[in-house]
């Protein structure tokens, strides 16, 4: 650096700005220092001692060399430019929307919101928990139901989860048939059919009237229907109830601002998407779905429910309720396999509602309804007839043989309509539709100048002289969104401050490292995030003609190739929108493969005891039986037990699901043997790729024995966790499974067969966040991708080394090293002192840290994963915190300090504590809240004290408390 810049070669000067150095925390000096502390002289020797030689890659990844931020953004901009932004009137659950700018910039583009994790540590997550509670309140209000969960992955999977819940819930009706109304979105029908096939249910798709004559345990109706019809479902639902059938209604949030609610009509479950409430359409996602239900179903509900409880000072505090805190503990008995969901998008949508308020939302809905009425009046005036008399925002125009010509005329005018059957065209209007566009649409249908006065039509509508789509008897009369939170923040200043207030209660990556094992909380670089909000990616309708999405097509193809290079697989499907969905898609592919070979008896899925809970949950969803394989005392899969189970089940074995490196934090030497043993009896190997951050550029699952893996792009490939979603869980497969990748009924996915089924509502899942992973791989290149893995392993080993003398490291590899994460065994300390893993997790908050993963995969442990993005300074701060805590434990062990009154047991400490005039603790306020020097510079105060989970579960409240309760 001291060198005169005129003497350095130009290329070297450019190198100073290399992204690789920005992404990885440790610089060369730190790297050397950390290696020294491990007694090693080079990174290569570390990798040799951690990764078994037989699986190590002999050559560099087949990726390009690294690009700079500027170069990569320019290349992606050119690709994005190939997308064409026509105006879409296609509807089908996807609508253009104005994302309020205050939310766009301060939530969607703000790392304080998008880099947080799922709120497992509620005391430092009260901001997004309040956002989610508001979301539940909004859904309860609009659907007219008793309870709602905190979001689902998409509308299609929400419908499928509703089907599964109704089956669990309905004990009075033993039928295995599920009824779906024909006027449901086709992608929803496809997802429901796929799930039903693997649960062993039959699906009947028919007109809603046919429900009464169909023997079934439950039904899905859509309101308004996919082609726009609004009909009162009250009688159909009550007739179904008399026959012990449970009814799910798929609905639309904006329509529900005006329409009688499904709850009022008697629905048991109400689902839908929140997309049009201020979430970019993004070629299909990410968006959140909602899921509302009767109180009586609460123990059977999928997903997470946020509930109100109290903290140790009796103050109102929020946290995940009941079994939904750790739903996967129930493994194959879990209600659903959902882990990562769509928190960021759920909170965005409720902020949209908060910003507009009930009055603003109603105006938006009324304007859309009025424009639709105007269009309908114009069309009927010009001799067209409509398929439905009652509608909200969607018209189904009967055009007969003119269908294709009109469709193409619209297309030529950059207007996308929906082809409905052979002789109708669908037109859906939205918040962004203008009068000029209604004019344009009328001109298309009238072959030129339609010659109508829109203002005159509108005036006649206002007087009631023309028929309107929504008759008064179908309109809702109850007040919605009356809670103060929806009526307080309608100025931008107030909104901005509310968002900031919530954000500042939470710990996200813009504050400190989040060492959550198995979650890979690495840098989500700004340059990676920027393309997400480019309109070229954000504004495309997922069912727009594919010629308009050529930019996306290039992005998908390139990303698939890059992921193939990283994993060693032959093909990739980008459809699954979370790891759990990837698992499901992979297992479906395995099942279909065996079916194609006539091997129907294979129904066993072997799963090691250390597996993540989503694995057994996914296996039971495809109808496989889970057989648990033990782990040995070193944490490895017990190969003797594996072989015994293989001999016992032989040709019944469908597959093994194994995480590599294991969630115990070691590269198991026996992996190739394990794969061979399963292959030997004709089984398939599913390698859970959540831990790919320890593998990329070092070893490839597709090369050491895997047949299929999912990748969590929101772990290894830099998509931020969003406070609990979005994510993406694409799968890589070997050649023989390629014919069985998921398809889509509306927008064909190249080289897929619709018989394979559909996993997500959108053909490429959450397409608009894929640019993040594309940017990451482009900017790291072949050299950076491997380096990231090396540094992740180095950082984990450094932490393990520094903490290992004070807390036992539960599992290590044969040479004494860990993989990219390590497990601290707290059980001996707990025995000696009474201090629990929870005490340590809460005490870390006083230091400004989010706790590591608690009690997974082994109870009584903490799993630390630092990732490559943390510098040695940050690791040292974390280590210092852990060592200070260890001394506090020692004082309890020795009897010097009483556990009940210790800082550990009373953590976290809040401002209420230190300002309490009656401070009686045996430690000082300084020790309580500033246990390390750096806290004098900057501190995040936990906004509540330790939360009482049991109290909240006994007094379940999942809607917003009154303002007075917050103040108490």
Ligand X SMILES: *Cc1c(COP(=O)(O)O)cnc(C)c1O
Q: Name the site residues for ligand X (rule: CB under 6 A).
A: 339-340, 518, 578-580, 612, 614, 659, 663, 688, 690, 712, 727, 729
Nearest residue (CB) to ligand X, 445 versus 686:
686
The C-alpha angle 704, 575, 78, rounded to 5 degrees, equals: 100
Q: What is the 3-state secondary structure (H, E, C) of 602-664?
A: CCEEEEECCCCCHHHHHHHHCCCEEEEECECCCCCECHHHHHHHHHHHHHHEEEEEEECCCCC
User: Please, what is the minimum distance in Å from the beta carbon of residue 663 to ligand X?
Assistant: 5
What angle, rounded to 10 degrees, do the helices at 343-381 and 126-143 form? Answer: 30
Query: What phi and psi values does residue 677 have, to the nearest 5 degrees?
Result: -65, -40
Task: Report the nearest approach of ligand X to the CB of residue 517 (Å).
Answer: 8
Residue 731 CB, nearest approach to ligand X (Å): 12
- Least separation in angstroms between CB 659 and ligand X: 5
Gap between the Cα atoms of 694 and 685, Å rounded: 19
CB of 169 to ligand X, least distance (A): 24
> Among candidates 146, 471, 182, 168, which has minimal Cα distance to 291?
146
| Cα–Cα nearest to 694, from 588, 568, 785 | 785
Is 612 or 820 the residue whose CB approaches ligand X more closely?
612
The least CB distance from residue 766 to ligand X, in Å, is: 11
> At closest approach, how far in Å is the CB of 68 from ligand X?
30
> In terms of CB distance, is 518 or 548 closer to ligand X?
518
Q: Of 23 and 710, which CB lies nearer to ligand X in the complex structure?
A: 710
Rg (alpha carbons) of the chain, rounded to whole number: 28
- The encoded tokens of residue 457 equal 């039509």
Q: Which is nearer to ligand X, 128 or 802 (CB)?
A: 128
Say what angle helices 872-893 and 770-804 make with each other, to 10 degrees. 40
Tokens standing for 503? 């954000």
Q: Provide the minimum distance between the beta carbon of 689 and ligand X in the complex, in angstroms, as a whole number.
A: 8
Alpha helices in 208-316 (DSSP H): 234-242, 253-256
Structure tokens of 404? 């294709």
Backbone angles phi, psi at 841, to 5 degrees: -60, -45
State the nearest-atom distance from the C-beta of 27 to ligand X, in Å.
29
**Which CB atom, from 157 or from 580, has the smaller least distance to ligand X?**
580
Query: To which H or E segment does residue 824 belong?
Result: strand 822-825
Closer to ligand X at the Cβ: 138 or 770? 770
* Residue 57: φ, ψ to 5°: -70, 140
Residue with smallest beta-carbon separation from ligand X = 579
Q: CB-wise, 194 or 518, nearer to ligand X? A: 518
- Give CA–CA dist 167/304, Å, rounded: 19
CB of 518 to ligand X, least distance (A): 4
Q: How far is CA 386 from the centre of its chain?
A: 39
Residue (134 or 712) nearer to ligand X, CB: 712
Q: Output the six-digit token pair for 275.
A: 């997309």
Residues 6+ apart with CB under 8 A from 63: 562, 565, 566, 777, 781, 782, 785
Which CB, 261 or 691, lies closer to ligand X? 691
Instruction: Count helices and strands (H / E) in the chain.
Output: 32, 26
First to last CA, the chain: 57
DSSP 843: H
Contact 788, 780 (CB under 8 A): yes
Q: Identify which of residues 372 and 712 has a Cβ nearer to ligand X in the complex.
A: 712
CA–CA separation, 253 and 261 (whole Å): 10
- Least gap, CB of 420 to ligand X (angstroms): 35
Residue placing its CB nearer to ligand X in the complex, 315 or 714: 714
- Smallest gap, in angstroms, from Cβ of residue 616 to ligand X? 11
Residue with tokens 């005018």: 413
Q: How far is the CB of 856 from ligand X (least distance, A)?
A: 9
Q: Quote the CA–CA distance of 128 and 117 in Å, as a whole number.
A: 10
Q: Choose between 663 and 795: whose C-beta lies nearer to ligand X.
A: 663
Q: Whole-number minimum distance, CB 866 to ligand X, in Å?
A: 16
H or E stretch including 492?
A: helix 492-503
Which residue number, 52 or 730, has a Cβ lying nearer to ligand X? 730
Phi first, then psi, for residue 929 (nearest 5°) are: -110, -10
Between 164 and 892, name the residue whose CB sits nearer to ligand X: 164
How is the beta sheet containing 822-825 ordered, strand by strand? 822-825, 861-864, 853-854
Nearer to ligand X, 143 or 518 (CB): 518
Smallest distance, Å, CB 50 to ligand X? 19
Give residue 314's region: left, alpha or beta (phi > 0; psi -120 to 50).
left
CA distance 106 to 103: 5
The per-residue DSSP string of 72-116 comes to HHHHHHHHHTTB--PEE---TT-------HHHIIIIIT-HHHHT-
Task: Tell the smallest beta-carbon distance from residue 555 to ligand X (Å).
Answer: 21
Cβ-based nearer residue to ligand X, 226 or 712: 712
> Contact, 631 vs 664, CB < 8 A?
yes
Separation between Cα atoms, residue 69 and residue 888, nearest integer Å? 45
Least Cβ distance, residue 340 to ligand X (angstroms): 3
What is the 3 state secondary structure string of 546-608?
A: HHHEHHHHHHHHHHHHHHHHHHCCCEEECCCCCHHHHHHHHHHHHHHHHHHCCCCCCCEEEEE
Q: How far is the CB of 702 from ligand X (least distance, A)?
A: 18
Q: Which CB atom, from 103 or from 158, has the smaller least distance to ligand X?
A: 158
């Amino acid at each position: 650096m001291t060198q005169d810049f005129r003497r350095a070669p130009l290329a070297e000067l450019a190198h100073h700005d290399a992204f690789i150095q920005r992404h990885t925390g440790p610089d060369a000096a730190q790297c050397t220092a950390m290696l020294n502390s491990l007694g090693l002289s080079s990174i290569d020797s570390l990798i040799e001692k951690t990764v078994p030689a037989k699986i190590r890659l002999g050559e560099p990844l087949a990726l390009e060399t690294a690009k700079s931020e500027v170069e990569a953004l320019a290349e992606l901009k050119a690709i994005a430019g190939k997308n064409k932004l026509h105006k879409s009137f296609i509807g089908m659950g996807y609508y253009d929307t104005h994302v309020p700018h205050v939310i766009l910039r301060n939530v969607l583009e703000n790392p304080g919101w998008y880099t947080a994790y799922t709120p497992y540590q509620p005391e430092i997550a009260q901001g997004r928990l309040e956002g989610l509670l508001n979301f539940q309140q909004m859904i309860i209000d609009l659907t007219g139901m008793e309870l709602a969960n905190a979001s689902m992955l998409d509308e299609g999977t929400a419908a499928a989860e509703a089907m599964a819940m109704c089956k669990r819930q309905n004990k009075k009706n033993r039928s295995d048939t599920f009824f779906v109304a024909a006027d449901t979105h086709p992608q929803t029908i496809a997802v429901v059919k796929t799930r039903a096939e693997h649960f062993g249910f039959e699906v009947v798709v028919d007109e809603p009237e046919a429900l009464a004559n169909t023997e079934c345990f439950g039904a899905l109706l859509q309101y308004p229907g996919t082609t726009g019809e609004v009909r009162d479902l009250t009688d159909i639902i009550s007739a179904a109830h008399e026959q012990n059938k449970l009814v799910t209604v798929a609905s639309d949030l904006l329509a529900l601002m005006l329409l009688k609610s499904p709850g009022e009509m008697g629905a048991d479950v109400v689902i839908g998407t929140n997309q049009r409430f201020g979430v970019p359409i993004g070629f299909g996602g990410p968006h959140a779905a909602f899921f509302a239900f009767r109180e009586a179903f609460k123990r059977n509900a999928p997903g997470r429910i946020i509930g109100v409880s109290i903290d140790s000072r009796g103050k109102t505090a929020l946290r995940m309720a009941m079994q939904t805190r750790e739903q996967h503990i129930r493994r194959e008995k879990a209600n659903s396999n959902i882990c990562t969901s769509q928190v960021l998008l759920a909170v965005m949508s409720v902020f949209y509602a908060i910003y507009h308020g009930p009055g603003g939302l109603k105006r938006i809905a009324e304007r859309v309804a009025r424009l639709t009425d105007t269009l309908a009046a114009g069309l009927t005036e010009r001799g067209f007839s409509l398929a439905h008399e009652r509608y909200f925002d969607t018209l189904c125009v009967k055009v007969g043989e003119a269908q294709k010509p009109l469709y193409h005329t619209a297309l030529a005018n950059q207007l996308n309509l929906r082809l409905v059957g052979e002789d109708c065209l669908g037109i859906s209007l939205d918040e962004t539709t203008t009068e000029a566009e209604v004019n344009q649409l009328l001109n298309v249908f009238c072959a030129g100048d339609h010659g109508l006065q829109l203002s005159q039509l509108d005036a006649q509508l206002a007087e009631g002289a023309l028929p309107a789509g929504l008759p008064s008897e179908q309109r809702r009369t109850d007040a919605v969104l009356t809670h103060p939170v929806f009526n307080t923040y309608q100025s931008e200043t107030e909104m901005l401050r509310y968002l900031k207030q919530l954000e500042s209660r939470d710990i996200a990556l813009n504050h400190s490292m989040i060492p959550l094992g198995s979650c890979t909380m690495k840098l989500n670089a700004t340059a990676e995030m920027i393309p997400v909000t480019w309109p070229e990616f954000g504004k495309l309708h997922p069912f727009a003609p594919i010629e308009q999405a050529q930019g996306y097509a290039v992005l998908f193809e390139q990303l698939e190739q890059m992921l193939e290079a990283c994993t060693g697989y032959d093909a990739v499907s980008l459809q699954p929108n979370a790891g759990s969905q990837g698992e499901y898609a992979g297992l479906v592919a395995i099942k279909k493969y065996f079916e194609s070979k006539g091997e129907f008896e294979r129904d066993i899925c072997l799963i090691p005891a250390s597996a993540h809970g989503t694995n057994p949950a996914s296996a039971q969803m495809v109808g496989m039986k889970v057989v648990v394989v033990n782990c040995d005392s070193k944490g490895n899969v017990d190969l003797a037990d594996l072989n015994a189970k293989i001999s016992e089940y032989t040709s019944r074995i469908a597959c093994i699901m194994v995480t590599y490196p294991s969630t115990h934090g070691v590269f198991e030497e026996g992996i190739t043997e394990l794969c061979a043993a399963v292959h030997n009896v004709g089984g398939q190997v599913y390698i859970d790729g959540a831990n790919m951050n320890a593998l990329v550029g070092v070893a490839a699952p597709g090369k050491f024995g895997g047949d299929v893996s999912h990748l969590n792009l929101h772990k290894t490939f830099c998509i931020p966790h969003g406070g609990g979603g979005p994510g993406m869980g694409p799968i890589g497969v070997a050649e023989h499974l390629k014919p069985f990748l998921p398809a889509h009924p509306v927008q064909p996915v190249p080289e897929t067969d619709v018989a394979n089924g559909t996993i997500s509502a959108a053909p490429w899942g959450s397409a608009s966040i894929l640019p993040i992973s594309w940017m990451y791989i482009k900017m790291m290149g072949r050299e950076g991708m491997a380096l990231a893995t090396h540094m992740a392993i180095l950082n984990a080993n450094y932490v393990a080394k520094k903490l290992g003398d004070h807390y036992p490291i539960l599992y290590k590899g044969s040479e004494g090293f860990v993989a990219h994460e390590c497990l601290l065994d707290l059980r001996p300390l707990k025995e000696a002192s009474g201090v629990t893993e929870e005490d340590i997790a809460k005490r870390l908050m006083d230091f400004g840290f989010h706790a590591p993963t608690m009690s997974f995969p082994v109870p009584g442990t903490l799993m630390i994963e630092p990732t490559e993005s943390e510098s040695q300074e940050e690791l040292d701060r974390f280590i210092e915190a852990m060592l200070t805590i260890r001394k506090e434990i020692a004082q309890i062990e020795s009897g010097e300090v009483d556990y009940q009154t210790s800082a550990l047991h009373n953590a976290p400490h809040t401002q209420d504590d230190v300002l309490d005039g009656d401070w009686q603790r045996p430690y000082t306020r300084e020790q309580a809240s500033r246990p390390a020097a750096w806290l004098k510079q900057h501190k995040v105060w936990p906004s509540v004290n330790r939360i009482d989970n049991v109290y909240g579960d006994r007094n379940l409240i999942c809607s917003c408390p009154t303002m007075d309760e917050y103040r108490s």
